[in-house]
């Protein structure tokens, strides 16, 4: 990692990711100018943070081996908590 790569710390990375995720209509060039980082660095931060989130939570919330009954239970719980039917079957 270069000296310039160390200037973007974890707090800034999370801040960039939060702005990128919750304000998707904001152009990347606007975010990169607000944080004074290059657009390519912004893309790298978002990609790396999303990869880490996926690696951490995928085994917990989306394990590879799910049975048909697991999916039925998930759909039932979703319906109970939201009073809205799931639409995974349509996909």
Q: What is the 3-state secondary structure (H, E, C) of 20-56?
A: HHHCCCCCHHHHHHHHCCCHHHHHHHHHHHHHHHHHH
The answer to whether the CB of 20 falls within 8 A of the CB of 31 is: yes
Model pLDDT for residues 23-57, shown as the tens digit of each residue:
666 666 677 777 778 888 888 888 898 899 899 98
Distance, in Å, from the CA atom of 10 to the CA atom of 14, rounded to the nearest integer, reads 6
**Token couple for 30:** 């606007």
Model pLDDT for residues 62-89, shown as the tens digit of each residue:
777 888 898 888 888 888 888 887 665 4
> Average pLDDT, whole number, for the chain?
77
The owner of tokens 């995928």 is 58
**Token couple for 37:** 């980082």
């Amino acid at each position: 990692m270069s000296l310039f790569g160390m200037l973007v710390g974890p707090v800034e990375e999370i801040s960039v990711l939060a702005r990128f995720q919750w304000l998707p209509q904001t152009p990347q060039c606007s975010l990169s100018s607000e944080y004074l980082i290059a657009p390519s660095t912004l893309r790298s931060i978002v990609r790396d943070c999303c990869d880490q989130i996926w690696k951490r939570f995928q085994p917990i919330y989306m394990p590879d081996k799910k049975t048909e009954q697991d999916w039925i239970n998930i759909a039932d719980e979703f319906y109970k908590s939201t009073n809205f039917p799931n639409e995974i079957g349509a996909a």
